[in-house]
Amino acid sequence: MNEKPICGRCGSILVVEGAPVTPMDISDATFLREVLTYSGSVLVDCWAPWCGPCHAVEPIVEELAAKYAGGIKVTKLNVDENPLTASQYNIRNIPTMLLFKEGKLIQTLVGALPKEEVERHILAVMRMN
């Protein structure tokens, strides 16, 4: 299984310069630009500072952001500070992770899931044509 984006023709690993290796904080104001109009895959980690399970998932999200840098954009959305986006995507429980491909919501993952499960969903979205 490849962890980085690969060329569809030759199969070589693509290098994406400047890809963030840590999750990017996003807001209601930046959601459109950073998620909905982004041409690739995006993971949105919906969380709140008071949420214990959110803090438990945080190292997993950070590890996956570094591992798949250039293959998927990993973002964090504080639902307390960004109620419009949280409401629009019906976020009722946190942590919730939203997986987007080319601006379309593909998958919603609810709860503190193991890294392997989140990674499986990331790879499935990255492989979608």
Q: Which of 7, 10, 46, 54 is catalytic?
A: 54
* Alpha carbon 24 to chain centroid, angstroms: 9
Give me the domain span that covers residue 95. 24-127
How far separated are the first and last CA of the chain, in Å rounded?
Answer: 17
In a domain, 5, yes or no: no
In a domain, 6, yes or no: no
Nearest by Cα to 85 from 40, 34, 35, 31: 31
* 46 included as an active-site residue: no
Q: Rounded to the nearest 10 degrees, what angle do helices 52-67 and 115-127 cross at?
A: 50
At 78-110, the pLDDT tens digits run 999 999 999 999 999 999 999 999 999 999 999
- For 16, the token pair is 């994406």
In a domain, 110, yes or no: yes
* 15, 115, 39, 90 alpha-carbon torsion, rounded to 10°: -170
Tokens 């996956």 correspond to 64
3-state secondary structure of 117: helix
**Domain count along the chain:** 1
In a domain, 17, yes or no: no
Asked whether residue 120 carries a pLDDT value surpassing 90, the answer given is yes
Average pLDDT, integer, range 110-129: 93
Q: What are phi and psi of 46, to 5 degrees?
A: -90, 125
pTM of the predicted protein model: 0.84
* 51 included as an active-site residue: yes
In a domain, 106, yes or no: yes
In a domain, 91, yes or no: yes
Any idea what the CATH number is for the domain that residue 121 is in?
3.40.30.10
In a domain, 97, yes or no: yes
Asked whether residue 11 carries a pLDDT value surpassing 70, the answer given is no
Mean residue pLDDT across the chain: 89
In a domain, 11, yes or no: no
